Amino acid sequence: MFSFFKNWLGKEQDSARSMEELKKDIQEESAIPAEEMRNTEVEFEADAQAETGSSSNMVRTEISLHPQWEQQLDAEKKYTLRFLQAELPEIHRGLISVTGFSMVPQPNGMTVAFFFRNATNKPVRVKNIRLAIYLDDKPFARMPVNLEQMGAIPPHTSRPWEVFFPQESYLHEDYSFTRWKLVMKAGQSTHVWPTQLELDPEMERRMTDRQKDRLEAMVHTLPPIPLNTIEVTGFDIGWTKEGQLVAALLFRNGLDKVYNPGEIQISITDAEHDVVAQGTLNASKIKVKPGHSRPWLIVFPADAVQKRDAKLGRWHLEVK
């Protein structure tokens, strides 16, 4: 706990950083309307704060330290947190937000410190949400977190906290960036991100480690898909010596149940929009769990190929 203080004020540094330098660590805010958050994510306590009579739609928050932090932090550290919180901008009334202010690399992960801000008129307890680290507006790490230990956050306050992102939550290993941001993912989502890669055992045995790494990177690079949909992405294609056409597809499941199509209709066209191969294929062995991605090889026999001299540097896939 308190890794960010060790980074700011630790003995390993020649001198403690000034308050003006620390202000530069405050990152962009990520906010969600409280009314859009689900009861599995946040819980609002019944006693509402009395209205102040202000007509402003903006809220100026004050710091709220967890009792454990209040007890363990010395006066200097409390002053530092109060100073940083006072530098936060006003927040729209009715929002719940996170604002990162420290990101500290660790030997086996990354610790991010942030202010959780409550701009509603009720104390709020945070249960299960998703947090993500973005580097230069690109996702770097994602994971679900349970923040019930943070306790009830009073109305119109900001509570400092920190979360550890293990290396397993990283989407890639690139640390090169000029700015970062902590993003809160919560509320009624319209999309799902099938990042759990599932390999058929037989296919996995034939794959090299490089091919597996490529697939793992791809499922984290592709964008989320709409809820209750299936998306199929072609990622490799080639000819066999016997004239067969082999296409590698990635099935991504946004349904709330296992996807088992039975049969599928596939059409592959080249850069000239000519049909290279098409047909109805038996897909009964393709089973993809909810929220998972699964690669599969589709083989068109030579007599099903309609354009044998097709150049497949660019190709298009259609699956029904």
Quick: pLDDT tens for 48-82: 554 444 557 889 999 999 999 999 999 989 999 99
Cα separation, 144 vs 239, in Å, equals 42
Count CA within 13 A, CB hemisphere, residue 3. Answer: 18
Evaluate whether 245 touches 186 at the Cβ level (below 8 Å). no
Q: Does residue 117 register a pLDDT over 80? A: yes
Residue 29, token pair as written in the block: 């805010």
Band of the pLDDT at 17, cuts 50, 70, 90? low
Band of the pLDDT at 171, cuts 50, 70, 90? confident
Cα-based distances in Å from 90 to 57, 61, 117, 161: 10, 7, 10, 19
Residue 110, token pair as written in the block: 């990354």
Residues with Cβ < 8 Å from 50, sequence gap 6 or more?
none
Cα separation, 163 vs 26, in Å, equals 16
- Which pLDDT score is estimated for 52? 47
- Which pLDDT score is estimated for 188? 61
Q: Does residue 109 register a pLDDT over 50? A: yes
Band of the pLDDT at 233, cuts 50, 70, 90? very high
- Which pLDDT score is estimated for 160? 97
Cα separation, 83 vs 77, in Å, equals 10
202-216: per-residue pLDDT in tens? 888 888 888 888 888
Q: What is the mean pLDDT of residues 276-283?
A: 92
Cα separation, 317 vs 245, in Å, equals 13
- H/E stretch holding 78 reads helix 75-86
- Which pLDDT score is estimated for 228? 86
Residue 62: other Cβ atoms inside 10 A: 12
- Which pLDDT score is estimated for 22? 75
Average pLDDT of the chain? 87
Q: Does residue 11 register a pLDDT over 60? A: no
Q: If you classify domain 196-319 with CATH, what class do you get?
A: mainly beta
Evaluate whether 274 touches 255 at the Cβ level (below 8 Å). no
Q: What is the mean pLDDT of residues 224-242?
A: 90
Residue 222: other Cβ atoms inside 10 A: 17
- Which pLDDT score is estimated for 83? 92
Band of the pLDDT at 10, cuts 50, 70, 90? low
Q: Does residue 297 register a pLDDT over 60? A: yes
- Exposure class string for 96-106: b at 16+ Cβ within 10 A, else e: bbbbbbbbbee
- Which pLDDT score is estimated for 204? 86
132-166: per-residue pLDDT in tens? 998 887 888 989 899 999 999 999 999 999 999 99
125-136: per-residue pLDDT in tens? 999 998 999 888
Q: What is the mean pLDDT of residues 250-275?
A: 92
- Which pLDDT score is estimated for 112? 95
- Which pLDDT score is estimated for 247? 94
Q: Does residue 186 register a pLDDT over 50? A: yes
Residue 106, token pair as written in the block: 């660790």
- Domains in the chain: boundaries: 3-188, 196-319
- For the chain, give the percent of residues with pLDDT over 70: 91
